[in-house]
Chain A
């Protein structure tokens, strides 16, 4: 079977409008497996995409491909992480972001730091008020999104914390 894009698109469409949650087709040594995520997950992903549409399937003509399973699990975990585990810390005000209490001091936190509720994460300076921004949850810093001594806007994301 020659794996062709339109053919896969058609298969996806059939699957999408059907009640079947997955199917597998094998022809001339090429195996294509398509699966829909559980309805619960679909509800959480805002635009309902076809999770099995993976270009790799096309390039690997002749060999058995099973793209559906891994893609599905990636989407599932991304959804749970975003909504439950990863917390975004946003700037409560307009000001200047400082990662350390003074220019020659160690930063309050770095990627990998464990924080708990009340841990100071940074300072936002506005009008000579040095506002200590504190963590609201316990967890681990996975990303720092602002740069030292740079201006930040209201609600601008500053950190990502992975909740314990």
Chain B
């Protein structure tokens, strides 16, 4: 089913939550497209597609989705944050996505839904959403954020290589979801909680309360050389950094890299 843009427009544009919706039945990447025409994109615009053909995560990693089954969009947000506060947009977005899932599925509490540093969403230990942000206009007070979100909604079959790591709402909650309603919920929650961006310490506290990583043994992978190490997560700092302790008890803080939780099984 293609996206019901009339419904989205009625709930999101008429009510002034969004200034516009740019919809493509098929598009290579909503973030890449937004970056290309970002001068023309007003604050609170979304670029939405039912089929992203060339979506990427960090540095070229493919984000594959089936046609019409998932939510893939970019939200354009102009917001005044200092450079040392920019990371808050990342924690804010993933926190709002967490709230959106909670609101959308009433039996969410019966499942393990957690935030994973820096901004992934895990449902029953599998990745259900990915977020990637591009930041423009770094030199001005008002930064332009291109917030790219991919949420697996109704996709049932995943490629073999990611099948054990990825899942969808349908696979876990055992029912079909209306993609438009999830987007409407997200945009509303995003707009209604914006004041959290000006209260970084509260936001970080809320975020940490929805994350299960503190105190856990994780595998930490450095992006630059692919080095992996087993570490214990001590805390997530208010500046967003991941504080870990290695086998010798030495602590250090990371801003790049990736963790995967090691479950005792």
Contact = CB atoms under 8 A, between A and B. Distances in A.
A103 B240 CA distance: 26
Given A93-B83, A126-B256, A102 B135 contact: no
Contacts of A126: 87, 240, 255-256
B255 A95 contact: yes
Contact of A133 (B138, B241, B255): B138
A151 B59 contact: no
A69 interface: no
Contacts of A128: 58, 90, 118-119, 131-133
B224 interface: yes
Choose among A95, A103, A128, A130 the residue with the greatest number of B CB atoms under 10 Å from its CB.
Answer: A128
Choose among A98, A127, A134, A151 the residue with the greatest number of B CB atoms under 10 Å from its CB.
Answer: A127
B108 to A, nearest CB: 24
Interface string A99-121: 00011100000000000011000
Given A96-B223, A96-B256, A126-B240, A132 B136 contact: yes
B139 A125 contact: no
Nearest to A136: B139
Given A92-B138, A132-B136, A134-B138, A127 B90 contact: yes
Given A149-B223, A149-B224, A129 B256 contact: no
A93 B256 CA distance: 11
Nearest to A149: B224
B56 interface: yes
A102 B133 contact: no
B84 A93 contact: yes
A30 interface: no
B139 A118 contact: yes
B86 interface: yes
Given A96-B256, A151-B256, A129 B60 contact: no
A132 B138 contact: yes
B139 A131 contact: no
B89 A129 contact: yes
Contacts of A117: 139
The 7 closest A-B pairs by CB, nearest first: A127-B118, A96-B256, A126-B255, A131-B135, A129-B133, A92-B83, A103-B60
Interface of A: 92-96, 98, 102-104, 117-118, 125-134, 136, 149-151
Given A93-B83, A132-B135, 4 more contacts: A92-B138, A94-B255, A126-B255, A127-B117
